[in-house]
Amino acid sequence: MGANDADEGGAEETPIVVVDADPASRNLAEDLEDEFDRQVIAIDSTDFDTESSEEILNSTLVIISWDLGIRSGADLLEELRCNPRLSGKTLLVALERPTRTIVRQAMLLGADGICCKPYDADEIRERLETIEARRGSRAA
């Protein structure tokens, strides 16, 4: 069982971490706890530090808003992908208005997938299933 198998039911107690500058979006993300049957930790991007955040080390899924206010979602995505302690994490980028250019940039920087804001449990599940299927076909 790989680190990302937790998303399919292996270790469902691992939290989902959402990094978002918008308080309303963070509240919506936390409201998804019941639908995922696991903790959702929504962190303000100004309070988030990849080196000291225990939440991210214990999670298997991190959702990053592309528009983080004082910090770029692109920069955070790149920082997460470059940190060896965080390898194996599934990273989704959340966009309010996805464009081909932004989606392409996010994927080139290491995003595993894209989801739209406002956060929707069904869409996130669908993205995770697509990611797992893609990983499964690569492993075969």
Helix crossing, 73-82 with 100-108: angle to 10°?
20
For 48-60, write each residue's pLDDT tens digit.
777 667 777 888 8
> Residue 102 has what pLDDT?
95
Give dist(CA 82, CA 86) in Å, integer: 8
Question: What is the H or E stretch that residue 95 is in?
Answer: strand 90-95
Topology, domain 3-135: Rossmann fold (3.40.50)
Q: What is the pLDDT of residues 63-101, one digit of tens each?
A: 999 988 777 889 999 989 998 888 889 999 999 999 999
**What is the arithmetic mean of pLDDT over 114-136?**
93
pTM of the model: 0.84
Q: What is the pLDDT of residue 118?
A: 95
- Give the model's confidence band at 106: pLDDT under 50 very low, under 70 low, under 90 confident, else very high: very high
